[in-house]
Amino acid sequence: MPRRPRRWRRGMWIAFLLAPGLAVMTLFVAAPLLSSFRYAFFTFKGVLPDAFIGLANFQDVLFEAPFAAQTWRALWHNCVVFASLMLAQNGLAYLIAFALLKTLPGHRIHQTIVFLPVVLSAVIVGFLWKLFLHPLFGLVNAALALAGIHGPPWLGNESTALGSIIFTNAWHWVGFPALIFLAGMQRISKETLEAARIDGATDRVLMTSIIWPLVAPSTTIVATLTFIGSFNWFELPYVMAGAIGSPGGATDVLGLLFYRTAFGTASSGLQDFGHGSALAVLMFLFIATTSGIGLHFLRRREIEA
């Protein structure tokens, strides 16, 4: 007789523990995600789905004016951002990690310093560098002037704007991949490194042919996170170049295009949830499949190493 109520009570206890978490996840992750795919097939009246139109939204954002040109240009810029961050930001991060691995005096402080910008908001970092990059009064051109160089209007020039924002991103984030690489390097056994040294391996050999293959798992993480970050890039370009990717769309990326399309801007029209949803679905599928394929190859590389 007492067995049953006890089991029942145990069940209730487990349900009580799970209920709040499951409720939030269902309402704010599962449900929105499912509707997100549905909404892409509708036209909208304000915030309400109106008429089912099949694939027309997708057709518009991929192949029809005025969307298509913006979509492909933004995608290209995202690719540029990803490639530059992989090379410049993460390359530098690898060097910093290698330097920190030496545990020279003060290495803990260096570790803390290189990670400091990471904890700041992209809004703060973006505005700070926007002020520094100001053509007349900014710190950067003032410093260049000391060396007799007349700096360009970094953010106002179509050829330098995107690069300037990428630089800012690297300054903001370099500590993150650096410490992930460092954690990977610290897991390599001391014997391996000692043996290589005794065999006369120089630092360059150590860095390129001994440590590099052994930190493959860290590289996988860094590459994947950089990829996802680059294709969700929003806050820095929004703060530094505005929602329309000034000047003249030279800094437009998918995140800005998506935001603009979905919610409108003061200058470029109303909110359009139908086309916005189509863009979101395409971005989601693109990020999921590309990072999935990438992960597959990066993982295989880990095993071979």
Per-residue binding letters, 68-107, with other proteins (x by CB under 8 A): ---------------------------xx--xx-x-xxxx
Task: Choose the stretch contacting other proteins; rule: CB under 8 A; options: 53-61, 81-89, 150-158, 233-241.
Answer: 233-241
Task: Choose the stretch contacting other proteins; rule: CB under 8 A; options: 51-59, 150-158, 273-281, 293-301.
Answer: 273-281
Q: If DSSP states are collapsed to H, E and C, what string results for 121-142?
A: CHHHHHHHHHHHCCCCCCHHHH
Residues numbered 197-226 forming contacts with other proteins, rule: CB under 8 A: 203, 218, 221, 225
Residues numbered 121-180 forming contacts with other proteins, rule: CB under 8 A: 121-124, 127-129, 131-132, 136-137, 139, 142-143, 171, 175-176, 179-180
Can you tell me the distance from the alpha carbon of 123 to that of 214, in angstroms, rounded to the nearest whole number?
36
The answer to the question of residue 273 lying near other proteins (CB under 8 A) is yes
The answer to the question of residue 56 lying near other proteins (CB under 8 A) is no
Closest CA to 103 of 185, 176, 170: 185
The answer to the question of residue 270 lying near other proteins (CB under 8 A) is no
The answer to the question of residue 114 lying near other proteins (CB under 8 A) is yes
Give the CA radius of gyration of the chain. 25
Smallest gap, in angstroms, from Cβ of residue 10 to other proteins? 7
Smallest gap, in angstroms, from Cβ of residue 78 to other proteins? 14
Can you tell me the distance from the alpha carbon of 31 to that of 4, in angstroms, rounded to the nearest whole number?
35
The answer to the question of residue 113 lying near other proteins (CB under 8 A) is yes
With CB under 8 A as the rule, give the number of residues binding other proteins. 86
Phi, psi of 32 (to 5 degrees): -60, -40
Q: Quickly tell me which residue has 């993982």 as its tokens.
A: 299
Binding residue for other proteins, selected from 43, 91, 117, 294, defined by CB under 8 A: 117
C-beta closer to other proteins: residue 11 or 269: 11
The answer to the question of residue 253 lying near other proteins (CB under 8 A) is no
C-beta closer to other proteins: residue 46 or 159: 46
The answer to the question of residue 39 lying near other proteins (CB under 8 A) is yes
